[in-house]
Structure 1
Amino acid sequence: MGSGLWSTDVYTAAANYRAAHGKSAFDYSDSGARRAHPALDPRGVTVRESRDSAEHPLSTPIAVLFDVTGSMRGVPRVLQTKLPQLLGLLTRKRYATDPHILFGAVGDATCDQVPLQIGQFESDNRMDEDLARIVLEGGGGGQKTESYELAMYFMARHTSLDSLVKRGRRGYLFLIGDEMPYPRVSPSAVGRYIGDALPGPIATEQILAELRRSFDVYYLMPTAAGWGGDKEILARWRSLLGQNVLELDDLDAVCETIALTVGLGEDAIDLDAGLADLVGAGSTHHGTVGKALAPLHRGTVARGPLAVSDAASGNERL
């Protein structure tokens, strides 16, 4: 997937149509859906693909998966309203060549009806359509864990990226949430929601190591979320991802944060230049974004190409 071109005019026309007919941008969920839309159901999916094309010969895969339990269920609504800004920064500012964006959602496989939803990598207005199909279940188990490791499993074993195969370039994966992953991937959850047969559980650390062969992985925690700022949760994610754990004081800055993180990873900008771009674009979130990305600014970002013949070797973030 990943053909076609994004049009802000098409996005605006769709928004105007919904407003005129009293429809929500998340009409599938708001109409009472309690199972994954067929377009986002991961069960039986072989791979979600990010493919080069004549329109997009140098694709950059970007996956954004958000927790839709409890207080986090509002995140997709913010993303949907800010989507033109995200695409504008990535393309007009040339932070990434030919971005392909996949949206998905994470819940709790121990108690939710829809614990995993995964869209397609898209480069046009179909990404907005995928967002609109997400079920905002708002469940969760009431503890500090959700099934992020199930999402990691799918993205590690059920994606195929031309950027990696052809150019040795990993994609970007952003997990947005306020809780911890479970300590291991459950074979029963994988069987039920993805359809794979696993011989036994997989430690979260192990599946994350596998995932990082294909993606640079980031965890964004909104500080105003239910568990925002929780020290135990932050310590767990930092043990997994190090400096790639970003705290976000204002959820409205999520798209700018994602865009600048990609720009830094692609060596298209430095942080000061990116923040200046936000000011120039009229964004009021440069302070929030600068604070969130300070850990990356302090670290050294090294993102050279992988050997195309060895996708398991890696450029590391130091």
Structure 2
Amino acid sequence: MGYSNWSDAAYQSRQGYRQQTQQTAFTYDQQVRATGIVQIHDQMNPFGKMRESRDSDQHPDSVAIAVLFDVTGSMGSVPRVLQTKLGKLMRVLVQRGYVAHPQILFGAIGDANCDKIPLQIGQFESGLEMDDDLGKIYLEGGGGGQVHETYELGLYFMARHTAMDCYDRRGHKGYLFTIGDEKPYPAVRRSQVQHLIGDHLLLRISTEALVAEVQKRYEYFHIIPTNTSHGSSAEVQARWRTLLGERVLLLDDEAAVCETIALAIGLCEGTLDSLDTAGQDMQSAGYDPGATAVAMTALTRYAASRPSTPAVITGVLPAIKQALPDGRLI
């Protein structure tokens, strides 16, 4: 629900303890592999659930940010990168003023045609609970080899099973980032929606229709890591381009995924004037200059497609000496 507060000191303490004790942040994944009992964590189960981003006394102007990543095959490194850079992501969003009150949801996507746990969705959180949610994800590493994953199931959930005060109260869109190197299926299947989410649909819904529905309430981007199994595929890239145009971000190094998310939000919020000023902001938050450069490259086409912002004239207006009857000033 996003009612707690982020503590960078507490997060760093957690990370330090994990390093000292050689413990993984993905404790549930470790548990599943140790026991052989493959089932979704109760708190990541989307069946019959709504995920909510709500204002509170601590966060009066909350902004919902959802990150859903493919956990099949070669994409398994992405959640680990997100977890290790979570502190820096929060630091640049809050300390550099991109978003004063971010509430972040993490989720995982697989292939409902062959995976045991193809959809995992956490809650919108403002504090260390978002790190906890990452630790509850099972990194299945499956997929069926057909260069498709059921991203459309994640889009369906975000379109119809999320509520955000930023949009509902203030008309401010939330943010959705999906991350993956394969194509979505052409439509969401009714049987999969019923089995995994609990809704009863009369008809299949096309992926195009779901994207349009999501875009009504979210600034939606899809990130494709290009050095994974299918990330460099022209066919994969073209499919996503038909859905999202310049909001498809080609990332040459998945280690720069947090930088890419932060810069995209900064551009949309208008708190980052342009990519030209991004380097200093990111380095001030502790990001690696190389990763920042990769993120800036991924966002170049999107940044160029944005309308230019009119210059703001500053200074003191001269005193008004006289007004004519028709309202003109002299």
TM-score (norm 2): 0.89
Q: Which AA in structure 1 matches 2:303? A: H
SS in 2 for 1:39: helix
* Structure 2 portions without partners, runs of 5+: 310-330
Distance 1:6 1:298, change over 3 A: same
- Structure 1, residues 45-83: CA drift from partner, whole Å, max 9, x if none? 1x1000011111111110000000000011101100000
1:273 alignment counterpart = 277
- Structure 1, residues 77-135: CA drift from partner, whole Å, max 9, x if none? 11000000100000000111200000000000000000000000000000000000000
- Once the two structures are superposed, the pairs formed by residues 209-288 of structure 1 within 5 Å of their partners are 209-269=212-272, 270-282=274-286, 283-284=288-289, 285-288=291-294
Choose from 294, 298, 319 the match for 1:292.
Answer: 298
- In structure 2, C-alpha distance between the alignment counterparts of 1:237 and 1:221, rounded to whole Å: 9
* Runs of 4 or more above 4 Å deviation: none
Distance 1:108 1:245, change over 3 A: same
SS in 2 for 1:4: coil
Choose from 165, 171, 185 the match for 1:168.
Answer: 171
1:8 alignment counterpart = 8
Deviates more, 1:90-99 or 1:25-34: 25-34
- Once the two structures are superposed, the pairs formed by residues 106-145 of structure 1 within 5 Å of their partners are 106-145=109-148
TM superposition shift of 1:286: 2.5
TM superposition shift of 1:275: 2.3
Q: Which AA in structure 1 matches 2:293? A: G
| CA contact 2:76–2:141 (8 Å) conserved in 1 | yes
Distance 1:158 1:254, change over 3 A: same
SS in 1 for 2:79: helix
1:64 alignment counterpart = 67
| CA contact 1:34–1:137 (8 Å) conserved in 2 | no
| CA contact 2:88–2:285 (8 Å) conserved in 1 | no
Bigger Rg, structure 1 or 2: 2
Q: Which AA in structure 1 matches 2:266? A: G
* Structure 1 portions without partners, runs of 5+: 304-318
Alignment coverage as a number of residue pairs: 302
- In structure 2, C-alpha distance between the alignment counterparts of 1:276 and 1:293, rounded to whole Å: 16
Q: Which AA in structure 2 matches 1:44? A: G
TM superposition shift of 1:155: 0.3
| CA contact 1:244–1:296 (8 Å) conserved in 2 | yes
Distance 1:302 1:67, change over 3 A: farther
SS in 1 for 2:43: coil
TM superposition shift of 1:179: 0.4
Residue 37 (str. 1) matches residue 41 (str. 2): yes
Query: What percentage of aligned pairs have identical amino acids?
Result: 49
1:315 alignment counterpart = none
| CA contact 1:156–1:210 (8 Å) conserved in 2 | yes
RMSD, matched Cα? 1.5
SS in 1 for 2:42: coil
- In structure 2, C-alpha distance between the alignment counterparts of 1:296 and 1:127, rounded to whole Å: 28
- In structure 2, C-alpha distance between the alignment counterparts of 1:22 and 1:73, rounded to whole Å: 19
SS in 1 for 2:125: coil
TM superposition shift of 1:301: 5.1
Distance 1:135 1:302, change over 3 A: farther
Q: Which AA in structure 2 matches 1:274? A: A
- In structure 1, C-alpha distance between the alignment counterparts of 2:89 and 2:245, rounded to whole Å: 25
| CA contact 2:73–2:143 (8 Å) conserved in 1 | yes
TM-score (norm 1): 0.92
Distance 1:301 1:84, change over 3 A: farther
- In structure 1, C-alpha distance between the alignment counterparts of 2:90 and 2:116, rounded to whole Å: 31
- In structure 1, C-alpha distance between the alignment counterparts of 2:193 and 2:126, rounded to whole Å: 29
